[in-house]
């Protein structure tokens, strides 16, 4: 495959929908008001485990404006066969976690529905619950695979013997807390039934996917469900699959025979829209005196709910990062009485690389080797576990370029010795990685009689700039100026497409767009450029092309550098500088790409210092379930941040030559910061986040 | 929920007398959050925003009378030199939007132990002007906080103003949070030097059921400082002052921080705030 010359691709163009967004004309899911609209407010379980024994529906039906109160005893039956059991809303009297939907009230106004939901009496028979992930939990088991389809465990050589024989061993256990995605726009759904079927205005990362989920749930053919989602205020994975509120809105609308709007509140999101599992990870590294790895063992334990298994691929990046003849990765899961975890920006890589890259820093210190040099020494020639060649692997180039830009040379590795007044200052580095995926998608390209073009694909722009980048790609493939090309996305009535997930959106959609445009250009050439009054259309389906792809090991890489200053009297750690250097194929739009990368790095800073969903063991609730208590980095926490990239020409990827950049920015950031904190203070924090009290622990 | 909207102060007092369960609302930065988080529903809201007299402040002798409607932004902009400790605390409240709406009187009404205004009010020796249809009452700040989110107001009383003595010496406020903005204090501390009376004022936030003074620390320090000679601070005195401040607190473990961390950081903040204040005082003497 060769990449084609592209004048628009590679340019730092403004977003094509910027004006619509800043003037408030871009319409989000909640802002749809079909005629005869009613409002649904869900009722959430106030126990973590047990049975619903009674719901006093009659009392709330007396309240003004209330249309219906629905629970499992009077709910329409769904058909969640083979589907996600979380979507079987109001189908059972069983309560599997605190905050699970147990009823929904529909009323004429949001106020009436809220009031009725608040006073609705639900009686429970509560059971003892268990919501604590802990090592040695008797319920730990080996899942069949980890997300999305990786083997649960891998092993090569004899890692135990290699560790026993190793000159230097690092054996450390790291933990990461539950974290919640918290996109700026909370989830919202407006469901409308008519003679044709079901239409859903939703805030989603994948209209086709939501359609394909909802249709069987309600016993409909996919063609009878339409999902419309032109603008989405962020997702970070929390909108990549249908969560229970989507099914609940559709169920409520069906029951009352009117359009229904359901908005998930920020507080409710902590129970019903997914989150990142907490992890406990033991990493063991064995090395010779020169720091060459002889063994790598990464064992992760995580949680899922009793409703459904979500097994995060925490240790998977360890399978390909560094060379070592003896290696093992394992994942164990325990099913607790908690909400079901799901995808959150870089599932697997974000928590897994925090552990691995912290352990690499510990090994560098143990071997008295510069941490960059240590990584270079352990660079593999081919993917260590599969033996496949890398299509491109520029981790070393990223580390070297970052070292040059950051001023790494001459760094004194001794921890705890750089004082500036009352502050201790240090620097840290960590590697970053994210796999390259590409999934089948379809697109159409149309030549209009007025000389313009329309490209259609059910892609999603969740704030990434996808609409802009697809317009650039289409314009170049059509050899047309940007303002003559209109790209329509965010609607399941368009040609079906992969979700905005796995950092695979642009690669998947872009391939389909290029192929559709090429097909249209062929038709146009055959007609010497003549466009009939009804226009000309061509389509593409990339299923064959994607399946036929050569099986390289394909990943984007990066290096993250952090400088921190820690007040050792109070434990306040502040990140003074963050630099990310990435190798991610061709960067299609430097402006939106930089936003994606520094956005990911900021989220990584937030993961390092702030984000933590605290489980209340007594009530089974994430108790800091609002923005007053769940802290995300504010602008004032981000002093000096930059993301740059090195040129990478990898023609084996896709027609654009691009790798995904939506997630890699968060990977490794927390380790770089934790490593810098250690360099500054001599305190190794192995449990995120790096809270104030953990840094003064030795003092008090 | 009823929404009561008096246009004059007397009307507000009459409403409150008739509906003592009504919750007064000014900036709404606390009341609305509580409602949104479903932490109780007031039977009625009493909106004080239309009463324009509340938004004024005046210097009356050596005291500044700050109306209940004066926002944090205006405190910062207009009262930074008269009430430096309170203005410093105001700068750390929420975000610019919150500071444009929130008021010190609202902080007093909510009486959260983490409210940023409380430590400087305690250190300055402020007095709360409370009023009801029955009459007016001046409540010394030390008697105002009665429990977690409880204060000395009678059910029919409203806060009309807070009277804060103008600074006669250096004042400092220190706060620890987990991030650089929009953060509830893990704990906080204020100090005010009152050189005329050879007295120290202190205030501790977020480290006890109520905001409180560290009285033993104040008395110790007042006796140890070289008020006349303005000589350098004895590090031993500063350290002991920090210890006494921590001893005055009785913190708990919560999501924002551990109790032992709060005690530790309180002593650090007390020592530091004293250092800054004494440096100013000693510097002024030699100038």
Helices (H), A205-348: 207-217, 244-256, 266-272
Residue B220 shares a structural domain with residue B255: yes
Residue of A nearest to B258 (CA): A693
Q: How far is B278 from chain A (nearest CA, A)?
A: 18
Same domain? B204 vs B273: yes
Q: How confident is the model at residue A652, as a pLDDT?
A: 87
Residue A474 CA to residue A452 CA, distance in Å, equals: 12
Chain B residue whose CA is closest to A622? B255
CATH number at residue B237: 3.30.390.50
Would the CA dihedral through A83, A84, A85, A90 be positive or negative?
Answer: negative
Does residue A664 sit at the B interface (CB-CB below 8 Å)?
Answer: no
Q: How many residues does chain A have?
A: 700
Last residue of a domain, one of B165, B198, B214: B165
pLDDT given at position A697:
67
C-alpha A551: how far from its chain's center? 24
Whether the CB-CB separation of B262 and B187 falls below 8 Å is answered with yes
**Closest Cα to residue A509, out of A424, A577, A437, A599?**
A437
Task: Find out whether A622 and A612 touch, Cβ atoms under 8 Å.
Answer: no
Whether B24 is covered by a domain: the verdict is no
Write out the H or E segment, with its range, that includes residue A55.
strand A50-55
Residue B224 token pair: 């140890």
Domain identity same for B240 and B214: yes
Look up residue A594 and give its two tokens.
């930089």
Rounded CA separation A101/A264 (Å): 11
pLDDT in tens, B57-75: 999 889 999 999 999 999 9
Are B75 and B95 found together in one domain? yes
* Residues paired with residue A219 on neighbouring β-strands, in sequence order: none
Written as six digits, the tokens of A127 are 């059971």
B165, B189, B204 - which closes a domain: B165
Beta carbons within 8 Å of A483's beta carbon, 6+ residues apart: none
C-alpha–C-alpha distance, residues B216 and B243, integer Å: 10
Give how far Cα B63 sits from Cα of B161, B167, B200, Å. 12, 9, 17
Helix (H, G, I), strand (E, B) or coil at A70: strand
Q: Tens digits of per-residue pLDDT, A548-604?
A: 987 899 999 999 999 999 998 999 999 999 999 999 999 999 999 999 999 999 999
What pLDDT does residue A82 have? 73
At B248, phi and psi to the nearest 5? -75, -15
Q: How close A64 gets to chain B, by Cα (Å)? A: 15
Which of A614, A624, A700 lies nearest to residue B264, judging by beta carbons? A700
Interchain contact A5–B (C-beta under 8 A): no
Question: How close does chain A come to B215, measured CA to CA in Å?
Answer: 23
Distance (Å) of CA B42 to CA B5, B38, B183? 15, 10, 26
Give the bridge partners for A536, in sequence order: A447
List B279's β-bridge partners, or say none. Answer: none
Q: For residues A543 and A340, give the distance between their C-alpha atoms in angstroms, rounded to a whole number.
A: 31
* Percent of chain B predicted with pLDDT > 90: 89
Same domain? B65 vs B92: yes
Tell me: cis bond preceding A148? Omega within 30 of 0 counts: yes
Q: What is the 3-state secondary structure (H, E, C) of chain B?
A: CEEECCCCHHHHHHHHHHCCCCEEECCCCCHHHHHHCCCCCCCEEEECCCCHHHHCEEEECCEEEEECCCEHHHHHHHCCCCCHHHHHHHHCCCCHHHHHHCEHHHHHHHCCCCCCCHHHHHHHCCEEEEEECCEEEEEEHHHCEEECCEECCCCCCEEEEEEEECCCCCEEEEEECCCCCCCCCCEEEEEEEEHHHCEEEEEEECCCCCCECCHHHHHHHHHHCCCCCCCCCCHHHHHHHHHHHHHHCCCCCECCECHHHHHHHHHHHHHHHHHHHHHHHHHHHHC
Q: Do A629 and B181 touch (CB under 8 A)?
A: no
Element (H, E) at A177: none
Q: Do A168 and A362 meet the contact criterion of CB atoms below 8 Å apart? A: no
CB contact under 8 Å between B269 and A570, yes or no, is yes
Please identify, in words, the CATH class of the domain defined by A145-179+276-436+552-699: alpha beta
B287 confidence band (pLDDT: 50, 70, 90): very low
Report the pLDDT value the prediction gives residue A312, as an integer from 0 to 100. 98
Give tens-digit pLDDT for B180-235: 888 889 999 999 999 999 999 999 999 999 999 999 999 999 999 999 999 999 99
CATH class of segment(s) A439-547: alpha beta
The verdict on A118 touching B (C-beta cutoff 8 Å) is yes
B277 in a structural domain: yes
Regarding whether B214 and B159 lie in a shared domain, the answer is no
Give the minimum alpha-carbon distance from B92 to chain A in angstroms, rounded to a whole number. Answer: 12
Beta-ladder partners of A54: A123
Q: In this complex, which of A572, A635, A699 lies closest to B264 when CB atoms are compared?
A: A699
Residues lower than pLDDT 50 in chain A: 1
- Structure confidence at residue B284 (pLDDT): 77
* High-pLDDT (> 70) share of chain B, %: 99
**Local structure of A365: helix, strand or coil:** helix
Chain-chain contact of A692 with B260 (C-beta, under 8 angstroms): no
Asked if B148 and B90 sit in the same domain, the reply is yes
Q: What is the rounded CA–CA span in Å between residue B223 and residue B197?
A: 12
Q: Are A100 and A71 in contact (CB under 8 A)?
A: no
3-class state of residue A566 by DSSP: strand
Beta bridge partners of B65: B58, B163
Q: Do B265 and A634 touch (CB under 8 A)?
A: no
The pLDDT of residue A4 is 54
Across A508-649, the runs of DSSP E, i.e. the strands, are 536-541, 555-567, 572-583, 615-616, 621-622, 641-645
Structural class in CATH, domain A35-44+50-127+182-272: alpha beta
Interface of B with A (CB under 8 A): 33, 37-38, 176, 178-184, 186, 255-258, 260-261, 263-265, 268-269, 272
Nearest by CB to A572, which of B176, B256, B258?
A: B176
* Fold matches, A35-44+50-127+182-272 and A145-179+276-436+552-699: yes
Note whether B161 and B175 are same-domain residues. Answer: no
Name the domain boundary from B165, B192, B221: B165
Nearest to B265 among A570, A614, A628 (CB): A570
Which residues in A lie closer than 8 A to residue B261 (C-beta atoms)?
Answer: 571, 692-693, 696, 700
In this prediction, residue B120 has a pLDDT band, given cuts at 50, 70 and 90, of very high
Pairing state between β A94-95 and A122-126: unpaired
What CATH number corresponds to the domain at position B145? 3.30.465.10
Closest approach of B183 to chain A, Cα-based (Å): 7
pLDDT at position A549 is 85
User: What is the edge-to-edge ordering of all strands in the sheet holding B199-205?
Assistant: B171-176, B187-194, B199-205
CB-based contacts of A303: which residues, under 8 Å, 6+ apart? A133, A277, A278, A333, A334, A335, A336, A338, A341
Contacts of residue A622, Cβ cutoff 8 Å, sequence gap at least 6: A178, A180, A270, A271, A275, A613, A614, A615, A616
Do the Cβ atoms of A569 and B268 come within 8 Å? yes
Nearest chain A residue (CA) to B38: A118
3 state DSSP class of A541: strand
Which residues on B lie below 8 Å from A120 (Cβ)? none
Task: Report yes or no: A504 and A512 within 8 Å, Cβ to Cβ.
Answer: no
Across B147-154, average pLDDT: 96
Q: Which residues of A form the catalytic set?
A: 663
Instruction: Give the residue among A247, A292, A287, A231 at the shortest CA–CA distance from A91.
Output: A247
CB-nearest to B257 from A609, A614, A693 is A693
Q: Does A635 touch chain B (CB under 8 A)?
A: yes
B215 and B140, same domain (yes or no) = no
Judge contact between B11 and B46, C-beta under 8 A.
no
The complex's ipTM works out to 0.91
A462 Cβ neighbours under 8 A, 6+ residues apart = A183, A205, A232, A233, A234, A235, A239, A500
> What CA–CA distance (Å, rounded) separates A549 from A545?
6
Q: Identify whether the C-beta of residue A388 lies closer than 8 Å to the C-beta of residue A382.
A: yes
Q: Residue B62's domain spans which residues?
A: 54-165
pLDDT at B163 over 50: yes
- Same domain? B147 vs B195: no
**How many structural domains does chain B have?**
2
Same domain, B157 and B177: no
B183 and B138 assigned to the same domain: no
**8 A C-beta contact, residue A599 and residue A465:** no
How far are the Cα atoms of A147, A270, A311, B232 from residue A210, in angstroms, in the given order?
Answer: 19, 21, 21, 70
Question: Residue B285's pLDDT band (boundaries 50, 70, 90)?
Answer: low
Nearest neighbour of B181 by CB, restricted to A634, A693, A696: A634
Residue B116: name the closest of B156, B87, B147, B145 by CA.
Answer: B87
Tell me whether residue B13 is in a domain. no
How is residue A190 annotated by DSSP?
A: E
- Spatial CA neighbour of B48 closest among B109, B97, B92: B109
Q: Where are the domains of chain A?
A: 35-44+50-127+182-272, 145-179+276-436+552-699, 439-547
> Cα distance from A627 to chain B (closest Cα, Å)?
10
Nearest partner of A586 among A516, A520, A507, judged by Cα: A507
């Amino acid at each position: 495959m060769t990449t084609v010359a592209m004048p628009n691709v590679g340019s730092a163009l403004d977003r094509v929908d910027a004006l619509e967004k800043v003037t408030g004309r871009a319409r989000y899911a909640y802002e749809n008001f079909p005629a005869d609209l009613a409002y649904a407010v869900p009722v959430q379980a106030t126990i973590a485990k047990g049975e619903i024994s009674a719901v006093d529906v009659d009392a709330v039906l007396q309240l003004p404006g209330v249309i219906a109160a629905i629970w499992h005893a009077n709910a329409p039956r769904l058909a969640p066969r083979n589907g996600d059991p979380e979507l079987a809303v109001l189908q059972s009297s069983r309560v599997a976690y605190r905050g699970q939907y147990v009823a929904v009230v529909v009323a004429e106004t949001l106020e009436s529905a809220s009031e009725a939901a608040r006073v609705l009496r639900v009686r429970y028979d509560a059971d003892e619950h268990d919501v604590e992930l802990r090592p040695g939990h008797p319920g730990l088991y080996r899942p069949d695979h980890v997300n999305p389809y990786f083997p649960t465990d891998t092993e090569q050589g004899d890692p135990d013997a290699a560790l026993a024989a190793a000159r230097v061993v690092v054996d450390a256990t790291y933990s990461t807390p539950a974290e919640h995605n918290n996109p700026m726009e909370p989830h919202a759904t407006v469901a409308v039934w008519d003679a044709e079927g079901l239409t859903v205005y939703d805030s989603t990362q994948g209209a086709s996917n939501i359609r394909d989920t909802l249709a069987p749930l309600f016993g409909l053919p996919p063609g009878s469900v339409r999902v419309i989602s032109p603008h989405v205020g962020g997702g970070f994975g929390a909108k990549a699959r249908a969560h229970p509120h989507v099914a609940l809105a559709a169920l409520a609308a069906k029951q009352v025979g009117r359009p229904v709007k359901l908005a998930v509140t920020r507080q409710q999101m902590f129970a019903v829209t997914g989150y990142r599992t907490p992890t406990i990870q033991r990493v063991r590294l064995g090395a010779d005196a020169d720091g060459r790895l002889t063994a790598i063992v990464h064992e992760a334990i995580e949680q899922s709910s009793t409703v459904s298994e979500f097994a995060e691929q925490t240790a998977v990046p360890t399978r390909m990062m560094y060379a070592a003849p003896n290696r093992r990765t394992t994942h164990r899961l325990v099913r607790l009485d908690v909400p079901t975890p799901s995808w959150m920006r870089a599932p697997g890589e974000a928590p897994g690389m925090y552990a691995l890259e912290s352990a690499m820093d510990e090994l560098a210190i143990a071997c008295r080797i510069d941490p960059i040099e240590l990584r270079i020494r352990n660079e593999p020639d081919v993917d260590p576990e599969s033996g496949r060649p890398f299509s491109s692997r520029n981790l070393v180039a990223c580390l070297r370029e970052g070292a040059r830009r950051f001023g790494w040379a001459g760094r004194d590795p001794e921890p705890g010795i750089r004082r500036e007044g009352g502050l201790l200052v240090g620097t840290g580095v960590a590697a970053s990685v994210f796999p390259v995926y590409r999934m089948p998608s379809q697109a159409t390209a149309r030549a209009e009689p007025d000389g313009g073009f329309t490209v259609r694909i059910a892609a999603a722009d969740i704030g990434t700039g996808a609409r802009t980048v697809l317009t650039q790609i289409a314009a170049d493939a059509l050899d047309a100026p940007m303002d003559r090309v209109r790209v329509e996305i965010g609607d399941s009535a368009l040609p079906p497409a992969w979700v905005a997930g796995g950092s695979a959106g642009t690669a998947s959609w872009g391939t389909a767009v290029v192929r559709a445009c090429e097909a249209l250009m062929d038709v146009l050439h055959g007609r010497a450029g003549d466009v009939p009054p009804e226009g000309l259309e061509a389509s593409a389906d990339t299923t064959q092309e994607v399946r036929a792809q050569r099986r390289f090991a394909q990943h984007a890489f990066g290096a993250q550098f952090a400088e921190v200053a820690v007040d050792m009297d109070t434990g306040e750690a502040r990140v003074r500088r963050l630099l990310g250097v990435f190798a991610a194929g061709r960067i299609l739009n430097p402006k939106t790409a930089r936003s994606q990368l520094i956005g990911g790095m900021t989220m990584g800073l937030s993961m390092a210092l702030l984000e933590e969903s605290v489980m209340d063991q007594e009530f089974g609730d994430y108790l800091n379930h609002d923005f007053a208590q769940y802290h995300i980095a504010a602008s004032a926490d981000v002093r000096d941040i930059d993301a740059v990239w090195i040129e990478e020409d990898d023609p084996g990827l896709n027609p654009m030559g691009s790798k995904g950049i939506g997630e890699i920015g968060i990977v490794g950031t927390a380790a770089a910061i934790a490593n810098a904190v250690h360099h500054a203070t001599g305190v190794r924090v192995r449990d995120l986040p790096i809270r104030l009290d953990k840094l003064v622990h030795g003092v008090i | 929920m009823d929404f009561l909207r008096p246009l004059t102060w007397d009307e507000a007092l009459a409403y409150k007398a008739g509906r003592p369960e009504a919750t007064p609302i000014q900036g709404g930065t606390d009341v609305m959050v509580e409602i949104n988080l479903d932490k109780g529903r007031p039977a009625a809201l009493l909106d004080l925003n239309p009463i324009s007299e509340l938004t004024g402040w005046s210097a009356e002798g050596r005291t500044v009378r700050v109306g209940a409607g004066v926002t944090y932004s205006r405190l910062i902009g207009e009262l930074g030199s008269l009430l430096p400790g309170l203005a410093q605390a105001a700068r750390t409240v929420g975000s610019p939007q919150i500071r444009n709406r929130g008021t010190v009187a609202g902080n007093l009404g909510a009486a959260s132990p983490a409210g940023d205004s409380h430590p400087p009010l305690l250190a300055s020796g402020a007095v709360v002007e409370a009023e009801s249809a029955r009459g007016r009452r001046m409540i010394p700040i030390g008697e105002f906080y009665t429990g977690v989110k409880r204060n000395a107001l009678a059910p029919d009383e409203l806060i009309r103003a807070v009277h804060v003595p103008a600074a006669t010496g250096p004042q400092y406020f220190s706060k620890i949070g987990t991030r650089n903005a929009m953060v509830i204090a893990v704990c906080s501390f204020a100090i005010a030097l009152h050189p005329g009376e050879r007295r120290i004022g202190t205030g501790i936030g977020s480290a006890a059921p109520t905001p409180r003074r560290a009285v033993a620390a104040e008395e110790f320090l007042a006796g140890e400082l070289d008020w006349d000679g303005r000589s350098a601070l004895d590090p031993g005195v500063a350290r002991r002052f920090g210890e006494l401040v921590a001893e005055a607190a009785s913190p708990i473990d919560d999501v924002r921080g551990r109790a032992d961390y709060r005690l530790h950081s309180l002593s650090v903040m007390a020592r530091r705030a004293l250092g800054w204040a004494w440096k100013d005082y000693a510097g002024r003497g030699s100038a």
